Structure 1
Amino acid sequence: MEILHHPVLGELPDAERITIDFEGRKIEARPGQTVAFALMANGIVALGRSRKLRQARGVYCASGRCCSCFMTIDGHEHVRACVTRVRAGMKIRQNTGDPQVGRDLDED
């Protein structure tokens, strides 16, 4: 699910890859990609579940305006994955509920 050949730009150069952790699974990403699109390039489109109906959520606006792509990234809950760039070793989890307000990030 990655554009490797662009109709105007042609072939994309083979870029270096970094490794990120999604739900305990190691996946590869390109530096500069957002978290959401790195996951999509690896076939992961369900980024979380809706709180009320528990339905799959994914990228909707891709510009940080909605809340469909909220994820827990490096212990920070409800981070917009569509505008957050990947970093090597990043730990990404699906949100499973409301954020714990006042929680110390060192507790994990």
Structure 2
Amino acid sequence: MIGERVKKYRKEAGMTLTELADRAGVAKSYLSALERNIQKNPSVQFLEKIAVVLNISIDHLLKDNVNEPSTKAAENLDNEWKKLVLEAMESGISKEEFRNFLEYNKWKIGQK
């Protein structure tokens, strides 16, 4: 269950329910209901917020056994980058909009 995984990773991170809810910008009551398996179908946006704060991929919350390849970029993801990602998510930017920006930026660099 997703709620059990959220609780497991939250505890591994040494966070209380309140801390995780506050840092992720989600309702504590909803998070509590999820962890107690009362709420069973959280949105992807909700899970993304939780995953970012817990410093895990969303796959960790969705699947039992996740083996992510370690990449240099992931290892070098510092707190400033994490804050930028959270800020982008909170501003309402979608993944597709962010991907479009990256593609445009790559194209722009290639034009030089």
Whether these two folds match at TM > 0.5 is no
Question: Between Structure 1 and Structure 2, which shows a larger proportion of helix residues?
Answer: 2
Q: Between Structure 1 and Structure 2, whose CA radius of gyration is higher?
A: 2
TM-score under structure 2 length normalisation = 0.31
